[in-house]
Each structure stands twice: as C-alpha cells, then as structure tokens.
Amino acid sequence: MNLHFKASGHGRALVLLHGLFGSSDNWHYIALKLAEKFRVFALDQRNHGQSPHHAEMNYPLMAADVEKFFTVCGLESAAVIGHSMGGKTAMQLALQFPQRVDKLVVADMAPRGYAPAHDNIFAALLALNLPSFQTRQQIEDALAPEIPNLVLRRFLLKNLGRDSAGTFIWKINLDGLAGNYLRLGEPLVVSSPFAKPALFIRGGKSKYIKAEDEPLIYELFPRAQIQTMAESSHWVHADQPEEFLRLLRGFL
C-alpha cells in the first residue's frame, strides 16, 4: 500500500505517525518546527486521511506499509516518531524492520495489549446517517449526547468530507477501523528486541504508560529512556508542544 504523506524541510529524515481517527494534519505544528532541522515526512496510515482503504488492519501490516514508504521515497532509514496507535506502528516497525529506524520516539503508548476503550465513539459515528445532514454543525450537534467532549467531537469531525454531489462522507474507512478495532489493541509481534536508542514520552495525566509497563518496554527496547510530561494528557504533543519539542530535540 502506498501511503499518502506530506514532506517539508531539509536534513536527516524524520517520519511522523498519527493515532487512531487522526491524520498527518495532527502533526502540523510539530512538523513545522522540526522541519527547521530535519526532512520531515508526516504520513497518513492506512484507512486514515488520504491513504488507501483496506479491509485488513494490524500492526505488522501497518509497519510494512511504512517500510514500503521508505522504499518508494528512496529512504534507507529515519528517526520515527509515533503517537498512540502511531506509536505502536512505530514500535512494530522498529522490531520488524530495525534497519529502517535510526531512533525511535513513542508518544504515550506501551507495547502491551489494550482493552477496548473507543466502543462508544464507533457506535456514535456508525449511527450517523451522513447523507441526511446539510451542515457540519448538525452532525456535531447529533454527536453531542454520546460524545459530550467538544474538543473530541471536533477532532473526530476533521474526518468528514463531501463527495462529488456534495454529500457528507467519511474520509476514514470507518467500517474498516471498527471491524479491526480489537486488532489495534493487541500487543506487538516480537522476534527480537530493538537495540537502538528509543524515547518514550508519557503523559503525566494519562494511563497509557503505567509503571508496570516499564519492564516490558526495557525488555523490548533495552536502550529506552522514559520521560514524563507531568501536565499532559494522552495528547502530549498537543497539550504541551514546546515541552514535547524540547524532549525531541534533546533526544534526536
């Protein structure tokens, strides 16, 4: 699968991978700043953004997508940064294709399995009859009872588009994501540890990386360091972008 991407800057290659329901746009500010010193590639993962849709979705496949991107773009290797689902893809890439990853940065995600936590979001989105709506505001209002968090609703609605007739459609493969959601919670497929440097950035107000996850992180990524951004939620790069950039620059 050929992934859609946005490229900017000059220098050593750096690849950015977004989380579930996201796209390359989520990295806009971070990419802008990193492009001052790096050649930055922000990717849309399969079934997201402008990348192709596919019925199958799991981390070995998603890592293979990114590895193919390296081949298509003529990149031998790069530093790879991933948030949430993208962090798991980045970890799988490092374990599956270690020659492609110079340094690994994982934003608020551990290599373990995760129980489903987005069932209500999928149910709310799948229940919408998009052709019946005339405006984005109507869709936002319809989601409000099930998704009362306004920031979350507006994040999700970034995935809205219109077809040639002007009818609302999902740019994401919503059915594909829902059908593979349990696969996205699975632990990584591991053959041997990743021996190069790795940085795990944990949100202090998030429960995605717990103290009990640290032994597994160090087992799979023996050169890992774990940094905590005390005032950040799961969205570390959005909550405190300057602190996130400071940690990135120090590591990269």
- pLDDT of the residue at 112: 97
Q: Say how many CA atoms lie within 13 Å of 202 toward its Cβ.
A: 18
Compute CA distances 241 → 3, 10, 11, 31, 201, whole Å: 26, 21, 21, 11, 12
**Strand 38-43 relative to strand 78-83, pairing:** unpaired
Judge whether 197 and 223 are in contact, CB under 8 Å.
yes
- pLDDT of the residue at 199: 98
Compute CA distances 152 → 79, 136, 245, 251, whole Å: 29, 15, 23, 30
Residue positions annotated with a catalytic role: 84, 175, 234
User: Which residues are CB-contacts of 75 (< 8 A; sequence separation ≥ 6)?
Assistant: 13, 69, 100
In the chain, what are the domain boundaries? 5-114+186-251, 119-179
Give the residue from 184, 185, 157 showing the smallest Cα distance to 172. Answer: 157
- pLDDT of the residue at 92: 98
- pLDDT of the residue at 156: 97
CA distance 153 to 199: 30
- pLDDT of the residue at 207: 96
In a structure prediction context, what are the per-residue pLDDT tens digits for the chain, which is 252 residues long? 999 999 999 999 999 999 999 999 999 999 999 999 999 999 999 999 999 999 999 999 999 999 999 999 999 999 999 999 999 999 999 999 999 999 999 999 999 999 999 999 999 999 999 999 999 999 999 999 999 999 999 999 999 999 999 999 999 999 999 999 999 999 999 999 999 999 999 999 999 999 999 999 999 999 999 999 999 999 999 999 999 999 999 999
Assigned fold of 5-114+186-251:
Rossmann fold (3.40.50)
**Strand 101-107 relative to strand 160-162, pairing:** unpaired
- pLDDT of the residue at 153: 96
Instruction: Please identify which residue in the block is written with the tokens 């790795």.
Output: 198
